[in-house]
Amino acid sequence: MLNILVLYHSSHGSVANMAHEISDTIDNLGATVKLRTFEKKQPHDIIITKQDLIECDALAFGTPTRFGMMASQAKLFWETTSDLWLKGQLIDKPACVFSSSSSMHGGNEATLLNLSLPLLHHGMMLLGVPYDVPELIDTVTGGTPYGASHVAGADNSSKLSNTEVKICQSVGKRLFTIASKLK
């Protein structure tokens, strides 16, 4: 059975909602999904370990945008993974990224690229959102070819739009499909 890791940091709930859309899709397709965070905010949160990365067959990784960069909690964790890098323990695992910002031009694309960097350094295979996902063309909120994204609004009150949900689901399905082919 596939073991897919959905790793995220969420400050106001948007990225957590995206993580759950992605993980629910993967779960419905029949994989074992591990939801992990970088810090315990809710009683059910489980903190990521390096062992979780080693054991996963694929990874979905998301944080809110912080001026076009990943959240510091995520960066701090990735900085501890040199031992995995030295052993090549993440090489050839498929991965995707997702993010949320307060405004339409709040840095989601830059953040998605920033989230990709440690994954590429670890030799993971980065999956984007292909243009056969119709919502990618139709979206007026979040969604990019680099990964799923969400525009939360200045007060973080915007719920995921229907197109954002469908893009998250397509990301989960693609991650499952590619990981299945590789396994």
> Which H or E element spans position 24?
helix 14-29
pLDDT at position 122 is: 98
Strands, E, within the chain: which ranges? Answer: 3-8, 32-37, 58-64, 94-101, 125-126, 148-151
Bridge partners of residue 33, in order along the sequence: 4
Contact between 169 and 25 under an 8 Å Cβ cutoff? The reply is yes
Quick one: which of 171, 125, 119 has its CA closest to 144? 171
Quick one: which of 33, 50, 172, 43 has its CA closest to 122? 50
Report, in this order, helix, strand and coil percent for the chain, each rounded to 5.
40, 20, 40
Contacts of 38 (CB under 8 A, 6+ apart): 7, 9, 47, 48, 71, 73, 74, 76, 77
**What mean pLDDT is predicted for residues 147-164?**
93
Print burial letters for 18-37: b (CB count within 10 Å at least 16), e (below 16). bbbbbbebbbebebebbbbb
pLDDT at position 157 is: 86
Structure tokens at 75: 């960066």
pLDDT at position 156 is: 86
Domains and CATH numbers, the chain: 3-182 (3.40.50.360)
Least confident segment among 3-12, 62-71, 139-148, 174-183: 139-148
Q: What is the pLDDT of residues 77-130, one digit of tens each?
A: 999 999 999 999 999 999 999 999 999 889 999 999 999 999 999 999 999 999
Sign of CA dihedral 129, 135, 139, 142: negative
Q: Give pTM, 2 decimals.
A: 0.96
